[in-house]
Amino acid sequence: MPQSLFDKVWDAHVVEELPGGNALVFVDRLIAIEITTPQPAAEIAEKFADRLFDASRIVAINDHVSPAKDTETAVQAQALRSWAKRHGVVMYDVGANGICHVVTPERGYVEPGITLVCGDSHTCTHGAFGAFALGIGSTAQGGVMLAGAIIMQKPKVLRVNVSGRLGNGATAKDLALTVIATLGFKGATGCIIEYHGSAIEALSMEERMTLCNMAIEAGATTGMCEPDETTIEYLRGREAQPKGEEFERKAAAWRGLKADPDANYEGVVEIDAAKIRTVVTWGTNPGESVSIDGAVPADADAQSLEYMGLVAGTPIRSLALDQAFIGSCTNARISDLRAAADVLRGRRVMIPTVITPGSQAVKRQAEREGLHDVFQDAGALWTHSSCGPCLGLSMGVVAPGMRIISSTNRNFPGRMGAGGRVHLATPVVVAASAVLGRIATPDELPAVQAETAAANR
């Protein structure tokens, strides 16, 4: 029977069928983070003689708050650290870490055709590589630590074909938000989203990661892209990948990992990339978005409006902001920072603006390119890598009623701080909005004086 990309990866990992339509599915890679690992680690230490299925399949990363900000986060980081050390698990810690969904790919721990899990819902990011990558709870993670496998029912597969090319300033983030709005905030529940089409093939790996990162926001189990030469070139030479012939052997296998042309899908959704425009969310879930040229919709949910302090019909560009944030596993890779720097070069921000690179490696690259000077000359705060205010934990949490424009992935009530109002957007829109103090695009900004731009280079 012709198979989807997901079907192939699934079949290659089913250890055995279990009652009730469940399967025992082998896990190639576990990313262990400080938020969700200490609890199962303690349980296994207590009840299962501290056994671990295979330490070499695990990567440990202190990521959500790092370095620790208080005693609790320090205890949590130390719990992960001592567990990793005890078992000889490779670890990326303070100085070499960052957000796990940025660090893992850039170090080469994810690759086409593998299964990968992590106790974090944005694990779907790694589907960009053609991996089956899935967020799980702490208990399920304990099962992976102990037995190297998860128990699950086979999800359905939804095919999203994106034809044409992104244009008009639209980015992978706009595509991600458009897919969510098209399918609905829970429209892909119980399904994997397989992305296909010329527009996807044209995306860089960083853009594919941005796209897959937000698959969960449509309720999907995960997202997946077919591996191709872009994938292979991204992985070549990465730390955890073999060199020379061995890498070429793997790459040859990856080239063959494609969906069969006549594979069956639960549904097929067609999207024309050329029609995608810059979008911003107005509401309290990522499905509540609208074109930046539009207005808060007339049929907007009343509770969302009340929380966001908005009235239907208000033009999006007129919304005044209190803070701006560029960061997170969605949009804090080097290409995102370059795009934001292109907007901020020679300009000044009007509102408090925090820029947090996705990993320390991204930070170092940005600094090699002088982007940190561009940001700081513009009056923004340039930080070390962390999840930061993305989940209201540290480094820029907002106060009740504050309106923030953010390159992150969730605008839920209280997500970036109790009572805070979050508008999701691309790094470019966040940067332009920071300059004008209201939601804006770069074409609205006054031209930069040549000498100012030069002085800021």
Partner 1 sequence: MIVESRVLALPRANVDTDQVFPGKYLSLISREGFGEKLFEGMPGGRELLASKPGARIIVVGDNFGCGSSREHAVWALVDYGFKAIVAPSLARIFHENAYNNGLVPVIVRDPQAHAACLAAERLSIDVANETIRAEGCEIARFELDPLKKEFLLRGGFMEYLASKVDTVRAWTRRRVS
Q: Write down the least CB distance from residue 288 to ligand SF4, Å.
A: 18
Q: Which CB atom, from 134 or from 273, has the smaller least distance to ligand SF4?
A: 134
Buried/exposed code over 288-321 (b: 16+ C-beta within 10 A; e: otherwise): bbbebeebbeeebeeebbebbebeeeeebbebeb
Query: Judged by CB under 6 A, does residue 122 bind ligand SF4?
Result: yes
Report the C-alpha gap between 165 and 160 in whole angstroms. Answer: 15
CB of 367 to partner 1, least distance (A): 29
Choices 24-32, 216-224, 384-392, 447-455; region in contact with ligand SF4 by CB under 6 A: 384-392
Q: Considering the rule CB under 8 A, would residue 138 count as an interface residue with partner 1?
A: yes
Closest approach of partner 1 to the CB of residue 133, in Å: 13
27, 158, 387, 422: which one binds ligand SF4 (CB under 6 A): 387
Is 181 among the residues that bind partner 1 (CB under 8 A)? Answer: no
Three-class SS of residue 162?
strand
Reading the block at residue 82, the tokens are 């001592």
Q: Which does 79 bind (CB under 5 to 8 A by kind): ligand SF4, partner 1, none?
A: partner 1
Is residue 333 within 8 Å of 70, Cβ to Cβ?
no
180 lines the binding site for partner 1 (CB under 8 A) = no
Nearest distance from C-beta of residue 166 to partner 1, angstroms:
27
User: From the list ligand SF4, partner 1, none, which binds 329 (C-beta under 5 to 8 Å, kind-based)?
Assistant: ligand SF4
> According to the binding rule CB under 6 A, does residue 409 interact with ligand SF4?
yes
Instruction: Compare residues 81 and 338 and give the one whose CB is closer to partner 1.
Output: 81
Q: Which of residues 276-305 bind partner 1 (CB under 8 A)?
A: 285, 303
User: Which residue from 62, 66, 76, 213 is in contact with partner 1, where contact means CB under 8 A?
Assistant: 76
Distances (CA, A) of 70 to 67, 74, 393, 416: 9, 6, 11, 18
Q: Dihedral of the CA atoms 116, 114, 133, 389 (nearest 10)?
A: 60
Cβ(139)–Cβ(40) below 8 Å: yes
Separation between Cα atoms, residue 190 and residue 219, nearest integer Å: 7
d(CA 439, CA 291): 12
Strands 90-92 and 421-424: unpaired
Q: With contacts defined by CB under 6 A, name the span among 51-59, 286-294, 301-309, 385-393 that binds ligand SF4.
A: 385-393
CB under 5 to 8 A by kind: which of partner 1, ligand SF4, none does 135 bind? Answer: partner 1
Helix H, strand E, coil C: the string for 215-244 is: HHHHCCCEEEECCCHHHHHHHCCCCCCCCH
Does position 120 bind ligand SF4 by CB under 6 A? yes
Using the rule CB under 6 A, which residue among 58, 117, 263, 391 binds ligand SF4? 391
448 binds, among ligand SF4, partner 1, none (CB under 5 to 8 A by kind): none
Q: Is the peptide bond before 112 cis (omega within 30 degrees of 0)?
A: no
